[in-house]
Structure 1
Amino acid sequence: MKITEEIIAHPLFRDSLERNEEAEKERVFCHHDFQHCLDVARVAYCMVLEKNLPIEKDIMYATALLHDLGKWKQYESGLDHAQQGANLAGIILGDIGVEEKISLEIQDAIRTHRYAENKTSLLGAILYASDKACRPCLFCKSLKECKLFPEGREPLLQY
């Protein structure tokens, strides 16, 4: 998985994950770290395989690994992390020589990954579903305060 390996080695990817970690060190809710991104990638690729979808493993992993890179910018300035993540992904994908068409597809999936109604692509729909499926709500001590699961609503346990 050439693209995935180059993303993981890219200094902007590593820097953004470090900034996310620093910004979330006191956070009681879900974290947006490498483990979360890797979990999303694995679940997303399982979905691709189960549904026999035409998405390459490397593209699915790349999209999932990049999807929350902009979280630190959201904490810092209030900017939408999905849009900021898409921008950061565009820089990284350009630096490693990913074809523009593929880069734009990945950026679109990242830009629209937060809400079900925003999906403009299959890649985006799988990213959305896998991101939600990877929330560790079952064991969360802060679930009652979580904005994602208002009182009376069960957390997602499967996709």
Structure 2
Amino acid sequence: MRVERATRHITADPERVFRAFTDPDLFVAWIPPEGMTGRLEEFDPERGYRMVLRYENPPEGGGKATLDTDVSVVRRVLVDPPRTLVEEVDFPSGDPSFAGTMRMTWTFQPEVTGTLVTIEATNAPAGIDQDVHVGAMISSLAQLARAVEHGTVG
């Protein structure tokens, strides 16, 4: 089974970090990786969301949904604040290499000087390049750290 992980220490307590996942305006501001913008079409902090991600510079071959977009349909299957968040992610696409459900598990481990945030992605569709995916997770974690550490999260 394909598994990808990324971690980052964030200098804020787990409760503060977890809030960045439940406020839709804040969430859409940090979750898109560098080079993308996001728009939420639906958002329920307990049940999930539907997000359209737009590439600033689309990749060769285009995005998963259109030439310049990806769409993520996310079900939150476990919301255990401020410790764990488990999501099941589908990518609506005409390309069968993006079929299947990916599981994203976010954990928030308290540390003396903040929180260790870990993302683990399992069962990513074959059409998602592993190195690009890990890079996107690292980018989102960096943006989460900036949002939480610099006061955009109350």
Structure in which a larger fraction of residues adopt helix: 1
TM-score bin (small chain): 0.3 to 0.5
TM-score (norm 1): 0.36
TM-score (norm 2): 0.37
Q: Which has the higher contact order (CA 8 A, sep 6+)?
A: 2
Structure in which a larger fraction of residues adopt strand: 2
